[in-house]
Amino acid sequence: METNIGNILISDMTRQVTNFSVDTKQTDGVSESGETRWYNSDFTKYYGYYSKIPELKRAIDSLSTWTCGKGYTTDTATEVLLNNITGWGEDCFNSILWNMQTIKKVNGDAFAEIIRNPNTGTLINLKPLDPASMVTIINKQGIITGYEQITKLGGAKAVKKFMPQEIFHISNDRVADNTHGTSIVEACQGVIDARNEAMEDWKRISHRSTIRVMYIDADNPTRLTHIKTEYATAINKGELMLIPAKKGEAEFEDLSTPPVSNFLEWIRYLEGFFYQAVGVPRVIATSENFTESSSKIGFLTFEPIYTWEQVQMEKDLWNQLAIKIKFNRPPSLGGDLNRDEAKDGAPFQSNDTKAGVGQ
């Protein structure tokens, strides 16, 4: 075969293979004229992820527990007031805050109706609300002017209006001029889907590997259809199947699963990446396969995260309800890390501890 150097071809990868890119996104800011209304239309989707994805629920619940779980301190008069708040009738003030913190992370915004004594104005209850039913109304200056609750019953009185001071409203990671907070589910959805798809793939492969392939020396469609039906019934019921055939005319072959290591490595990578995206170290949710030193580092990196959530909740309670409390902080591990020089690795430097806590 003759080779002609002039017939060299060059691929066009630039046009045929696109590079990864992220779509641009505008903030959900206020309109230039009139009022802006924000509906929490994605709450049902985010709540579905929270309810069905165990690692997501565990991570969010863990953050809420670290934020509110150790209780709070306040003055005697405020403590008496808060002890009488019962939410829907079976709540306590601490469980209401846990609920609000959880929905804040799931949806981006959490709402509770502020119920006061009509004569004295004293706070008598705080009732968490469904974000999907709430509409936030913002004027063209970017200030909240009210809320509307769209009831699930419908009818002429389907909309209930609230003044800003009648709703306790907290937001997660509100940035720029957005008219709402940011759900952590939105950023984690891709890695959650990928991990669960990988788990479903392996589940399907493992399940199908239990089925045995049958070879039959026959081409009669009627006979093959009958054997197929009987074989499926036997597999479904876990029964033995007897085939009237000579040896060699019919035989079984077992399927085998592919190597599991590649699947597990991918699933574990996605799981680790998931906890990074949520902002809750995996060691907070589970203590499996961690050394003592790595666990302490995980707790140390988590300290400013839950402390930030506590401070934000304290500020929101004061600014919106005139309630001054201080959440009890879990013990810091910074001092322990300075004394314990990482039994499983290189010594932990004290300047690293100071930098991690202060930033």
- Of the spans 57-66, 236-245, 267-276, 339-348, which averages the highest pLDDT? 57-66
Is the overall model pTM greater than 0.75, yes or no?
A: no
Read off the pLDDT band of 28 (50, 70, 90): confident
- Do 224 and 99 fall within a single domain? no
More confident residue, 83 or 10: 83
- Do 171 and 55 fall within a single domain? yes
Q: What is the pLDDT of residue 121?
A: 93
Listed residues 254, 287, 317: the one ending a domain: 254
- Do 153 and 232 fall within a single domain? no
- Do 115 and 242 fall within a single domain? no
Q: What is the pLDDT of residue 344?
A: 47
The answer to whether residue 102 sits within a structural domain is yes
Is residue 353 predicted with pLDDT exceeding 50? no
**In DSSP terms, which residues pair with 109 in a beta bridge?**
171
More confident residue, 142 or 290: 142
The answer to whether residue 222 sits within a structural domain is yes
Which helix (H) or strand (E) segment holds residue 265: the answer is: helix 261-278
- Do 240 and 111 fall within a single domain? no
For the chain, the distance separating the N- and C-terminal CA atoms, rounded to the nearest angstrom, is 69
- Do 118 and 167 fall within a single domain? yes
Is residue 350 predicted with pLDDT exceeding 80? no
- Do 167 and 223 fall within a single domain? no
Q: What is the pLDDT of residue 214?
A: 65
The answer to whether residue 57 sits within a structural domain is yes
The DSSP bridge pattern shows strands 326-327 and 36-39 to be unpaired
Mean pLDDT is lowest, of 79-93, 170-184, 284-298, 344-358, for 344-358
Q: What is the pLDDT of residue 252?
A: 64
- Do 155 and 48 fall within a single domain? yes
Mean pLDDT is lowest, of 11-20, 190-199, 319-328, for 11-20
Q: What is the pLDDT of residue 294?
A: 63
**Per residue, what are the HEC states of 53-108?**
CHHHHHHHHHHHHHHHCCCEECCHHHHHHHHCCCCCCCCCHHHHHHHHHHHHHHHC
Is residue 10 predicted with pLDDT exceeding 90? no
Are the beta carbons of 133 and 139 closer than 8 angstroms? no
- Which residue range is the domain that position 225 belongs to? 211-254
- Of the spans 2-11, 19-28, 133-142, 233-242, which averages the highest pLDDT? 133-142
Is residue 218 predicted with pLDDT exceeding 50? yes
The answer to whether residue 153 sits within a structural domain is yes
Q: What is the mean pLDDT of residues 74-93?
A: 95
The answer to whether residue 289 sits within a structural domain is no
Q: What is the pLDDT of residue 165?
A: 96
- Do 110 and 228 fall within a single domain? no
- Do 169 and 218 fall within a single domain? no
The answer to whether residue 67 sits within a structural domain is yes
d(CA 64, CA 281): 14
Q: What is the pLDDT of residue 30?
A: 76
- Do 154 and 236 fall within a single domain? no
Listed residues 162, 181, 200: the one ending a domain: 181
More confident residue, 227 or 255: 227
The answer to whether residue 80 sits within a structural domain is yes
Q: What is the pLDDT of residue 133?
A: 94
The answer to whether residue 285 sits within a structural domain is no
- Do 117 and 62 fall within a single domain? yes
Q: What is the pLDDT of residue 293?
A: 62
Number of domains composing the chain = 2
Q: What token pair was written down for 262?
A: 């590649």
Mean pLDDT, the chain, as a whole number? Answer: 80
Listed residues 254, 286, 310: the one ending a domain: 254
C-alpha to C-alpha distances, 235 to 226, 229, 232, 314, nearest whole angstrom:
14, 10, 5, 60
Is residue 356 predicted with pLDDT exceeding 90? no
Mean pLDDT is lowest, of 118-127, 135-144, 268-277, for 268-277
Read off the pLDDT band of 161 (50, 70, 90): very high
- Of the spans 152-166, 185-199, 271-285, 302-316, which averages the highest pLDDT? 302-316
